[in-house]
A and B are shown apart, each in its own frame.
Chain A
Amino acid sequence: MTERRIRVLIAKPGLDGHDRGAKVVARALRDAGMEVIYTGLRQTPEMIAEAALQEDVDVVGLSILSGAHMALVPRVLELLRENGQEHVRIFVGGIIPDEDVPRLKAMGVYAVYGPGTLTDDIVRDIRKAVLGTIDQA
């Protein structure tokens, strides 16, 4: 009777106070049958890594609109590695200039989403990243 659920942490690091996008994504993942831990606004990378550890999530989704992604994302990745959670997949959403996308991916970010992304695509990518397949829940 093992029941496996994909667990996702949706976090907003940094100082921008707009979490509409984060909530829309959280809701879409919920509707796709995932368990979504939502931490609210203005999280430090330390708070995010700690929550990821305590909640044993498969995926961390970072919503960043402030432009500080090149500082925040590497710090979150570093802390996750320090905690032994290098297997956790990182997704970044928000306002990310095109030229930064390959740099983020090189750091280990699984995917980057800008405005207009279909939530179905995010759901599909997360399933693929966690389960290695796209048709299982």
Chain B
Amino acid sequence: MREGNGVSIAEKVLAGNRYALSRVLTFIENDAPEGREALKALFPYTGRAHLVGVTGAPGTGKSSLVNRLAYYYRHPPEGEPKRVAIVAVDPSSPFTGGAILGDRIRMRDLSGDRGVFIRSMASRGALGGLSRTTAGVVQALDAAGFDMIFIETVGAGQAEVDIARLAHTTLVVEAPGLGDDVQAIKAGILEIADVLVVNKADRPGANATVRALTEMLKLAHPSQETIMHHGRRMVLSSSVAQKHEGHLWIPPVVQTVAIDNQGIDNLAAAIARHRVYLEETGEWQIRDRVRLQSELENMLREALMRRWREGVTAEIYRQVMEDVFARRMAPADAVAILLNGVLA
């Protein structure tokens, strides 16, 4: 069971073998040949799951929210329960490469349920809030038949926006007291939100946070609005509103208290509405294509790096680096030389 080539293990994954799935995820994460083989075999079965990204600053309650959401989809008020997978990414140490992966601590409500699969990943040096192999891991879970896949990023600051390229629906989780209203108009993480969540909404300052986010959204999506500015009436309108012939998605602001299970039904409803929006506007397909394209480009980049490394001897590399260190050669010239693989 431990060994086995990628194709046969992929067959076991498709047959519902959980340990085979777990092994495949490890192979993918380690960029092992079995992982690449398995992904090739699994690829035709991907593209069915709803991928939901969950990002936000550390300590806003992402893991607790994912725990409650997953539980909700496993015990829905109506309809069939959905199969749920969770990929939780935590940071690797930049110095030792080690990591503490602690997201499962908040997910104990889900244990014992075979319709749930939780996998922790270390970021392994990647900076965008995910790991380099998270997309592959998500593909394997998609092929394994999970209906909803939650991807929880590293506790992100302002620029860790890779998740928006991977997910269909991105939740950005905020908590009261984390910043003033200027934070809300900065570029970056808030721009990628499909749904904004104010968690810990029972804390003081929650209303101010909701207000700041709502104001930010009005500025970003002023479909047509009259405002008073220095005593003058001004009409704002935006071209954004015309996109998708009137189907405009304005990210809702949803308040939750994850530890008390409050607001989870509203959040699930917002996720469901976003899915309908994606499907009705064709955005679902667009995002799918964008994701596949960016995955392909990443693989291409790595393949080119591998091929290039094969053509450059360690000796040439060392010599060029020495010249750069001694400031005899500019980095741009070094690149030109290394690309050709020979010293001038």
Residues of A close to B32: CB separation below 8 A: 2
Contact A56/B26 with A31-B96, A47-B111, A47-B112 known, Cβ cut-off 8 Å: yes
Q: For B102, give its contact among A34, A38, A47, A54 (CB under 8 Å).
A: A38
Residues of A close to B31: CB separation below 8 A: 1-3
A124 at the interface (CB under 8 A from B): no
Which of A2, A34, A50 has its CB near the most chain B CB atoms (within 10 A)? A50
A32 at the interface (CB under 8 A from B): yes
A128 at the interface (CB under 8 A from B): no
Total A residues in contact with B, Cβ cutoff 8 Å: 35
The distance in angstroms between the C-alpha atoms of A30 and B253, with both chains bound, is 37
Instruction: Tally A-B pairs: CB < 8 A.
Output: 94
Please list the residues of chain B having a beta carbon within 8 angstroms of any beta carbon in chain A: 1-2, 18-19, 22-23, 25-26, 30-32, 92-93, 96-102, 104-105, 108, 111-112, 117-120, 122, 124, 302, 306
Q: Please tell me if the beta carbons of B101 and A46 are within 8 angstroms of each other in the complex.
A: no
Q: Please tell me if the beta carbons of A5 and B306 are within 8 angstroms of each other in the complex.
A: no
Which of A34, A43, A54, A87 has its CB near the most chain B CB atoms (within 10 A)? A54
A107 at the interface (CB under 8 A from B): no
A36 at the interface (CB under 8 A from B): yes
Please list the residues of chain A having a beta carbon within 8 angstroms of any beta carbon in chain B: 1-5, 7, 26-27, 29-40, 43-44, 46-47, 50-51, 53-56, 83-85, 87, 137
Q: Please tell me if the beta carbons of A38 and B101 are within 8 angstroms of each other in the complex.
A: yes
Q: For B98, give its contact among A4, A36, A44 (CB under 8 Å).
A: A36
Identity of the chain A residue whose Cβ is nearest the Cβ of B102 in the assembled complex: A38
Q: Please tell me if the beta carbons of A37 and B101 are within 8 angstroms of each other in the complex.
A: yes
The distance in angstroms between the C-alpha atoms of A33 and B99, with both chains bound, is 7
Residues of A close to B101: CB separation below 8 A: 35-38, 55
Q: Please tell me if the beta carbons of A55 and B30 are within 8 angstroms of each other in the complex.
A: no
